[in-house]
Amino acid sequence: MNTSKKITIAVDGFAACGKSTLAKALAKELNYAYVDSGAMYRAVTLYFLDNNIDLDDKEAVQKALDEQIYIEFRNIDGNNHTFLNGIDVEEEIRSFRVSDFVSPVATVSAVRRTLVKIQQAIGKNGGIAMDGRDIGTVVFKDAELKLFLTASIEERTNRRLQELQSKNIQDFTAEAVAENLKTRDHIDSTRADSPLMQAEDAIEIDNSLLTPEEQLAYTLELAKDLIAEKKKQATV
Ligand code: CDP
């Protein structure tokens, strides 16, 4: 239980719903840490692909998680970069090769157990905005602010296309991107271990027609009210 005066913000939702954009902006406004939990699943996926780790080989999976994979985030020129074993993999983990295999990897319980433990350790004192699929339901069940984002598949496809183009990642077509989002949503929502679902106490936001600024203004108000409440409680 986080007893500091800072709150925990969990942002969950379907693929390419703008979760990272929102969580990052909230963290910046509040001077909180931001963690992209999806980047951790992507980094594990990249390692498994590059090292031919078979998901059914429990021993190899566990050994890789325990001894061979070290993930960290570093700030490069104001941007959050994911490092895998000391190498900047921020671009590579967004490639189609990784996007195509990440959801099957994220169904593996050993992978989830390991990453959830790291995420909980990073956020144990609050003051964090984390985005993913199971943040409000599993990682931070007690988070003071839980947001669940949705948007139409057309909107999400367009946003992801723009994002990939801006990063100069070009190993995809529009159809392939849409197909990938739909397939991942299906696998993520139907897996046995911590499936993607809205926490009972989460606030749902369909942001299809909202600008990032509108979405930020609304959620920042919610966060500020909760922070004020928490501070009041701490002084009673
Ligand atoms: O593409 P998008 O930014 O929406 O996805 P992401 O946040 O980078 O996550 C990539 C994949 O990692 C998801 O499709 C899930 O399979 C998995 N994931 C998960 O299972 N649990 C999380 N907390 C975060 C991501």
Higher pLDDT, 4 or 203: 203
Mean pLDDT of the chain: 95
Mutate to test the pocket of ligand 1, among 47, 102, 105, 134 (most ligand atoms within 8 A of CB): 102
Q: Which residue has the tokens 């990682």?
A: 139
Beta carbon of 15 within 6 Å of any ligand 1 atom: yes
At residue 78, does pLDDT exceed 90? no
Q: How far apart are CA 201 and CA 153, in angstroms?
A: 25
CA 235 to ligand 1 center in whole angstroms: 38
Please, which pLDDT band fits residue 73 given cuts at 50, 70 and 90?
Answer: very high
Beta carbon of 194 within 6 Å of any ligand 1 atom: no
The pLDDT of residue 2: 65
Beta carbon of 116 within 6 Å of any ligand 1 atom: no
The pLDDT of residue 172: 82
Beta carbon of 184 within 6 Å of any ligand 1 atom: yes
Share of the chain above pLDDT 90, in %: 89
Q: Closest residue (by CA) to atom 23 of ligand 1?
A: 132
CA 63 to ligand 1 center in whole angstroms: 22
CA 111 to ligand 1 center in whole angstroms: 13
The pLDDT of residue 167: 82
Please report how many Cα atoms fall inside a 13 Å half-sphere around the Cα of residue 145, on the Cβ side. Answer: 30
- Give the type of residue at 220: L
Instruction: State mean pLDDT over 67-76.
Output: 96
Q: Closest residue (by CA) to atom 9 of ligand 1?
A: 38
The pLDDT of residue 130: 98
Beta carbon of 95 within 6 Å of any ligand 1 atom: no
What SS3 string covers the chain?
A: CCCCCCCEEEEEECCCCCHHHHHHHHHHHHCCEEEEHHHHHHHHHHHHHHCCCCCCCHHHHHHHHHHHCCEEEEEECCEEEEEECCEECCCHHHCHHHHHHHHHHHCCHHHHHHHHHHHHHHCCCCCEEEEECCHHHHHCCCCCEEEEEECCHHHHHHHHHHHHHHCCCCCCCHHHHHHHHHHHHHHHHHCCCCCCCCCCCCEEEECCCCCHHHHHHHHHHHHHHHHHHHHHHHHC
The pLDDT of residue 216: 98
The pLDDT of residue 54: 98
Beta carbon of 112 within 6 Å of any ligand 1 atom: no
The pLDDT of residue 107: 98
Q: Closest residue (by CA) to atom 21 of ligand 1?
A: 133
Report strand pairing: 8-13 vs 87-88: unpaired
pLDDT in tens, 187-221: 999 999 999 999 999 999 999 999 999 999 999 99
Using a 10 angstrom Cβ sphere, with 0-12 exposed, 13-18 middle and 19 or more buried, the burial of residue 23 is buried
At residue 236, does pLDDT exceed 90? no
pLDDT in tens, 110-154: 999 999 999 999 999 999 999 999 999 999 999 999 999 999 999
Report strand pairing: 87-88 vs 79-84: antiparallel
Domain extents for the chain? 8-235
Share of the chain above pLDDT 70, in %: 98
Instruction: State mean pLDDT over 77-90.
Output: 95
CA 132 to ligand 1 center in whole angstroms: 6
pLDDT in tens, 163-176: 888 888 777 889 99
pLDDT in tens, 87-102: 999 999 999 999 999 9
Please report how many Cα atoms fall inside a 13 Å half-sphere around the Cα of residue 162, on the Cβ side. Answer: 9
Q: How far apart are CA 144 and CA 32, in angstroms?
A: 14
Instruction: State mean pLDDT over 77-86.
Output: 94
Structure token digits, residue 181: 């989002």
CA 231 to ligand 1 center in whole angstroms: 32
Q: How far apart are CA 38 and CA 43, in angstroms?
A: 9
At residue 19, does pLDDT exceed 70? yes
- For 8-235, which CATH superfamily applies? P-loop containing nucleotide triphosphate hydrolases (3.40.50.300)
CA 41 to ligand 1 center in whole angstroms: 7
Q: How far apart are CA 110 and CA 169, in angstroms?
A: 30
Please, which pLDDT band fits residue 1 given cuts at 50, 70 and 90?
Answer: low
Q: Closest residue (by CA) to atom 16 of ligand 1?
A: 103
The pLDDT of residue 189: 97
